[in-house]
């Protein structure tokens, strides 16, 4: 008999993941605060809607969370009518991007019989819909083995990173690299524009070189073609993740000046009103703050 799955968080990633679970024949109960369109589509395809996280827990053996971060995870677990209010043993898989220290703390606080593992995601909503995500899983070998058949419904790669919390740590490092690239690309483009080098010239040198990569190509799909959905990850979430990284570095007594610089780039974007725009738009923010444009010919430097 297959585990009954509860799914909370039907945003751009979660909706595709939940659809794949349903398509693979998993009994699915869903709950959403805001994503009514995705929820109604899933219900039409055979899912059941829960009125509260507590009700979802009562109907489920395994609960998958795909929410914004640690505060939202804590609210779903401990809030009024939260999962823990069901007072039953649950196997909880947290696919959010959360603070590793809080993840470990929550796992330790669960009642007897309940287990929480972290399984954050890499790649994009496109891969979520295709069932081709990368998943980094923190937990014991036994719990990861239990989770694997469920995760395989929406993942192409499943990497066991170590104990609970290590998945979220690896996810922060993954996002540090990607947001670091975004920050470097943005600053390089602004410097180039100031010197009269267009994004097209920049791309003609980098594309196909050793500096090319999938992240670069998605970022430049926005820069060159103005595709607003090239990388659907809001800058306010990038700032959240880089803030988690800063907290982790501080707790580990690790100097991380590059991480601080990356965080400050996104903090500037959010503070100037661009938080809900997607990450590649950082290039326009940095260019604008430096008095240049990436969409019109840049003046030649004197």
CATH number at residue 268: 1.10.1040.10
DSSP element (H, E) containing 94: strand 91-94
Phi, psi of 265 (to 5 degrees): -60, -45
What average pLDDT does the structure give for the chain?
95
DSSP element (H, E) containing 144: helix 141-151
Query: What is the chain's alpha carbon radius of gyration, rounded to the nearest angstrom?
Result: 21
Let me know if 171 is a catalytic residue: yes
Answer whether 199's CB lies under 8 Å from 165's CB: no
* 211 and 275 assigned to the same domain: yes
301 within a domain of the structure (yes/no)? no
Percentage of the chain exceeding pLDDT 70: 98
* 157 and 177 assigned to the same domain: no
* 158 and 24 assigned to the same domain: yes
Least Cα distance to 42 among 56, 54, 136, 82 occurs for: 56
294 within a domain of the structure (yes/no)? no
Domain-terminating residue out of 163, 195, 218 = 163
* 58 and 157 assigned to the same domain: yes
* 173 and 89 assigned to the same domain: no
Q: Give me 206's structure tokens.
A: 């980098």
Domain-terminating residue out of 148, 163, 178 = 163
Boundaries of domain holding 257: 169-289
* 125 and 243 assigned to the same domain: no
16 within a domain of the structure (yes/no)? yes
The span from the CA of 263 to the CA of 197, in Å, is 27
Q: Give me 159's structure tokens.
A: 């990497």
The pLDDT, as a whole number, for residue 2 is 84
71 contacts: CB under 8 Å, gap ≥ 6: none
* 185 and 262 assigned to the same domain: yes
The pLDDT, as a whole number, for residue 194 is 97
Catalytic residue, chosen from 2, 171, 194, 240, is: 171
243 within a domain of the structure (yes/no)? yes
Answer whether 97's CB lies under 8 Å from 236's CB: no
Q: Provide the 3-class DSSP secondary structure of residue 289.
A: helix
Q: What does 117-139 look like in DSSP terms, one character per residue?
A: EE--EES-HHHHHHT-EEEEEES
299 within a domain of the structure (yes/no)? no
**pLDDT bucket at 274, cuts 50 / 70 / 90:** very high
| Alpha helix segments (H runs only) across 161-295 | 166-194, 199-206, 214-225, 235-251, 257-271, 282-289
Give the DSSP letter of residue 178: H
* 12 and 92 assigned to the same domain: yes
* 186 and 278 assigned to the same domain: yes
The span from the CA of 49 to the CA of 68, in Å, is 20
The span from the CA of 291 to the CA of 194, in Å, is 8
**pLDDT bucket at 176, cuts 50 / 70 / 90:** very high
Answer whether 54's CB lies under 8 Å from 83's CB: yes
* 152 and 212 assigned to the same domain: no
Encode pLDDT of 119-164 as tens digits.
999 999 999 999 999 999 999 999 999 999 999 999 999 999 999 9
Handedness of CA 159, 160, 164, 169 (dihedral sign): negative
261 within a domain of the structure (yes/no)? yes
Comparing 33-42, 63-72, 170-179, 202-211, which segment has the lowest mean pLDDT? 33-42
Domain-terminating residue out of 163, 187, 213 = 163
The mean per-residue pLDDT over the stretch 1-17 comes to: 94
What is the pairing mode between strands 62-65 and 91-94?
parallel
If one counts the domains in the chain, the total is 2
The pLDDT, as a whole number, for residue 302 is 47
Q: What is the CATH number of the domain that holds 62?
A: 3.40.50.720
The span from the CA of 226 to the CA of 189, in Å, is 15
The span from the CA of 175 to the CA of 27, in Å, is 32
Q: Across-strand partners of 159?
A: 136
Phi, psi of 268 (to 5 degrees): -65, -45
* 43 and 85 assigned to the same domain: yes
* 36 and 114 assigned to the same domain: yes
133 within a domain of the structure (yes/no)? yes
pTM of the model as a whole = 0.92
Decide which of 1 and 250 is more confident: 250
Give the DSSP letter of residue 124: -
302 within a domain of the structure (yes/no)? no
């Amino acid at each position: 008999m297959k585990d009954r799955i509860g799914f909370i968080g039907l945003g751009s990633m979660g909706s595709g993941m939940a659809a794949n679970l349903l398509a693979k024949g998993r009994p699915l109960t869903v709950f959403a605060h805001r994503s009514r369109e995705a929820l109604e589509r899933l219900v039409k395809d055979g899912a059941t809607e829960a009125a509260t996280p507590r009700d979802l827990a009562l109907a489920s053996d395994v609960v998958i969370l795909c929410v914004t971060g640690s505060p939202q995870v804590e609210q779903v677990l401990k809030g009024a009518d939260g999962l823990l209010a069901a007072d039953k043993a649950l196997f909880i898989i947290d696919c959010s991007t959360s603070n590793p220290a809080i993840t470990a703390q929550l796992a330790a606080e669960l009642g007897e019989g309940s287990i929480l593992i972290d399984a954050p995601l890499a790649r994009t909503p496109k891969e979520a819909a295709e069932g081709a995500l990368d998943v980094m899983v923190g937990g014991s070998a036994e719990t990861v083995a239990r989770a694997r058949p469920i995760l395989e419904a929406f993942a192409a790669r499943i990497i066991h990173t170590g104990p609970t919390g290590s998945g979220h740590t690896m996810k922060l490092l993954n996002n540090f690299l990607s947001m670091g690239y975004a920050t470097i690309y943005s600053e390089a483009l602004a410097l180039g524009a100031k010197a009269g080098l267009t994004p097209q010239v920049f791309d003609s040198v980098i594309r196909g070189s050793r500096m090319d990569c999938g992240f670069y190509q998605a970022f430049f799909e926005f820069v060159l073609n103005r595709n607003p959905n090239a990388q659907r990850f809001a800058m306010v979430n990038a700032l959240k993740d880089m803030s988690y990284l800063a907290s982790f570095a501080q707790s580990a007594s690790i100097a991380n000046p590059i991480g601080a610089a990356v965080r400050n780039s996104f903090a500037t974007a959010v503070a100037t009103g661009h938080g809900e725009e997607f990450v590649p738009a950082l290039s326009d923010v940095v260019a604008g703050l430096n008095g240049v444009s990436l969409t019109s010919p840049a003046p030649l430097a004197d």
